Amino acid sequence: DAKTTQPNSMESNEEEPVHLPCNHSTISGTDYIHWYRQLPSQGPEYVIHGLTSNVNNRMASLAIAEDRKSSTLILHRATLRDAAVYYCILTLFGGSQGNLIFGKGTKLSVKP
């Protein structure tokens, strides 16, 4: 599986936007970009995924660089509940037919 690189930690203020970066310079043409998060003492939770185009859903937006070697998860207005570890994961064929390889992720702290 292609490797991703994320900062170990980030801080944000409540109600401000958060941009979580991910580098994946060895991504292949058939790799999807997934983002999951893990709130304290809970199981991982799907956030968003994309292939080439930017994506929006009710939780977040995903901005994918034109060369696909990096992406950014955007939380438009951080809340205290968004404090979690965020994982950027590359998967083949969309991920549902195979495993997710979790890295260490980015621990997001949200200050009131």
Partner 1 sequence: EPEVTQTPSHQVTQMGQEVILRCVPISNHLYFYWYRQILGQKVEFLVSFYNNEISEKSEIFDDQFSVERPDGSNFTLKIRSTKLEDSAMYFCASSGTSGGDRNEQFFGPGTRLTVL
The token pair at 94 is 């969309």
Least distance between partner 1 and beta carbon 99 (Å): 4
- HEC-encoded secondary structure of 11-25: EEECCCCEEEEEECC
Q: How far apart are CA 76 and CA 66, in angstroms?
A: 21
49 touches partner 1 by CB under 8 A: yes
Tell me whether residue 41 or residue 67 sits nearer to partner 1 (CB atom): 41
For the CB of residue 76, give the shortest distance to partner 1 in the complex, in Å: 20
H helix and E strand count, the chain? 0, 9
* Of positions 14, 32, 59, 72, contacts partner 1 by CB under 8 A: 32
Residue choice 20, 24, 34, 70 for contact with partner 1 (CB under 8 A): 34
Q: Which of 90, 99, 111, 107 is nearest to 3 (CA)?
A: 90
Q: Is 104 in the site for partner 1 (CB under 8 A)?
A: yes
Enumerate binding residues for partner 1 (CB under 8 A): 32, 34, 36, 38, 42-46, 49, 87, 94-104
